[in-house]
Every structure is written in structure tokens, then in C-alpha cells.
Amino acid sequence: PETVLQNRYRLLKLVAEGGFAQTYLAEDRGRFGERCVVKEFCPNSSDATVFEKAQELFQREAQTLYKLEHPQIPKFRALFTETLDQEKRLFLVQDYVEGQTYRAVLRQRSQSGKLFSESEIRQLLNQLLPVLSYIHGLGLIHRDLSLENLILRTADQTPVLIDFGVVKTVVTQLQQTRVMPSGTAVGKFGFAPIEQLQSGRAYPSSDLYSLAVCCLVLLTGREPAQ
């Protein structure tokens, strides 16, 4: 917290941490203190070759994300490197969405004994399937659709799709080119189809599978393993 990147993005707090990335809530001084999300790629390697290759792949992925213009997808803002503690770091910046993840919503509902109804799930599908149709039409696949990556936006109670699997996509490509050791699955266990977890390959149907799992978990309150 309080670290300022690019003399612009002031980190406020850590909001998520994964195997290869850390996500922070930040304020953008270049946009009058507007809240944003800053994601740091942490390759767990001091090898300069890994960093250079990752930077090249991120640049390619970021160009694709930058083209996305949809009210239910946070806008991608920037990609930059910064040297901290004599070490080069890679960062992505995206819009911040005020709201709760569907994981948090389900947790609250489970405590009161009221899960999602069939009509609510129909509405959720009606709201999210066009979003998937939009990204698939551009040749993109989310790869990491789960309750943690769906946010119920406070402003209009609309589901928003966050956190495209760009970090995991880059990690997979680094592993396939043997720049990094293999062993990291792309997608969340139980929510991603087994062939995606095993091979790292994903298709439009992979996202549909993950959305279906989300719906079943919201309807039943049970995890995929159950």
C-alpha cells in the first residue's frame, strides 16, 4: 500500500493473490483519483529471458484486450514495466468495478438459506451469454470463468465478467516454449473442463462449460467436487 507506480497509480490494498499474479486496488492520479485495478505479473523467476518473453507475450495479449468495448467487461487501460528493488516488474491496469463477486453473494445467501432460483439463473444466462458471444466473435476466450470472476455490479445489479485469463495464458505459452517449467493448470479446478486443465487448450465451448458450472453451484449451493 501507498506505493506509486509510473508516478501515477497509487496502490491502496492487495485484493487477490494467485500463483503468478497479485491484484491491487489503486487510484489513478491521471484520472482525478479514479479507482482502478493494477495486476502485477510474478513469474517466480529471476531469469531475464523469462521476463523478456513474458513482456512480449503480454504485449500481444494486451493489444487484443484493448480492443474490447462492452459495458459488462472492464476496460483495459495500460501495460507497463517498472523497476522496484532493482527488479523489473510487469503491470496491467484495468477499470475497477464496484460490487460483489458471485462467490460473496452465494456465501451471504447460503447463510440465510436462500439460494438462486431458476428464474434468477435464466436471467443471469440472458445477461451473460451475449457477453460470451461478443468475446468469442472476436476470437477471444475468457479461460477462467468462475464465481470469483463474475461481479454483481452495485450500480445496476448487472453481472460483469472480470479477470480474463491473460496471465495464465502467458504462463501456458511460456511453458509450451519451455521458457518456464510446466505444471500450472489454466482455469479453476472444477469450473474449467478437464481437457483445458490437462492440455491448457481452450475453446468457446470451454467458457460455456464454466458458465454452466457456475449456474449449478448458484442453484444448489454445492461445489463442483460435491
**The C-alpha cell that represents 8 in the structure block:** 501515477
Q: Catalytic residue among 144, 156, 163, 207, which?
A: 144
In terms of Cβ atoms closer than 10 Å to its own Cβ (0-12, 13-18, 19+), residue 169 is buried
144 is catalytic: yes
Closest CA to 136 of 203, 44, 226: 203
Selection from 133, 156, 195, 187 nearest residue 18 by Cα = 187
Q: Measured in Å, how far apart are the chain's first and last C-alpha atoms?
A: 38
Distance CA 171, CA 126 (A): 32
The residues assigned a catalytic role are 144
